[in-house]
Amino acid sequence: MKRVPLVLGSAVVLGLVIAFPRAGLGRQEKKAESADSVKAVKQVVTTLFDNVSQGKGEDNLKLFFSPDVTIVVISRGSGLEKAWQKKAAEVVKQWQADGAVKVTVDSNQVELMDDALAVARVNGQTDFVKLRGVMTLTSEGGSWRIASYVFETRLPDQK
């Protein structure tokens, strides 16, 4: 009877030895998945602004979780009456009507909240305004897409 616990104890030790390397590999795979997700989120943001710059605003609708995603714009220093919110479908239509507007992205920082939720903070500029914005993105249902977008515009001389 004393051999049974010893054999079980050996099996447990052997199981732990086998499990630890697998756990380590899992963490490495998770880091690789995280790096891939950050890269994918940054690509969505870059694509959004590239499309606007190239006059391909209509291509941006597929980057949103749905056409009903709300976009909020705040014009710094202009008061609440200048702020507005519209559905992504309306804004994309306007981007298309406006034609190409060169947007330079100065920074694009991504924070993964988990494997299905991310936040992107963007700073950029056009020839007319500076902008900074926050997007939440989700990978729920497949590829990363924009679930919300809030941005602020400022005149070039405003901080």
| Residue 31 confidence (pLDDT) | 54
Q: At a CB cut-off of 8 Å and minimum separation 6, what does 60 contact?
A: 47, 48, 51, 52, 88, 92, 95
Confidence check: pLDDT of 154 > 90: no
Q: Does residue 137 or residue 158 have the better pLDDT? A: 137
Alpha carbon distance 140, 153 (integer Å): 30
Q: Is residue 159 included in any domain, yes or no?
A: no
Burial class (CB in 10 A: 0-12, 13-18, 19+), 32: exposed
pLDDT band at 141 (very low <50, low <70, confident <90, very high): confident
Domain count, the chain: 1
CATH number at residue 138: 3.10.450.50
Q: Is residue 145 included in any domain, yes or no?
A: yes
Q: Is residue 82 included in any domain, yes or no?
A: yes
Q: Which tens digits make up the pLDDT trace of 64-80? A: 999 999 999 998 767 67
Q: Which tens digits make up the pLDDT trace of 84-101? A: 999 999 999 998 998 899
Confidence check: pLDDT of 10 > 80: no
Q: Is residue 90 included in any domain, yes or no?
A: yes
> In the numeric block, which tokens belong to residue 32?
């690789």
Domain coverage including residue 41: 3-154
Instruction: State what percent of residues in the chain have pLDDT above 70.
Output: 78
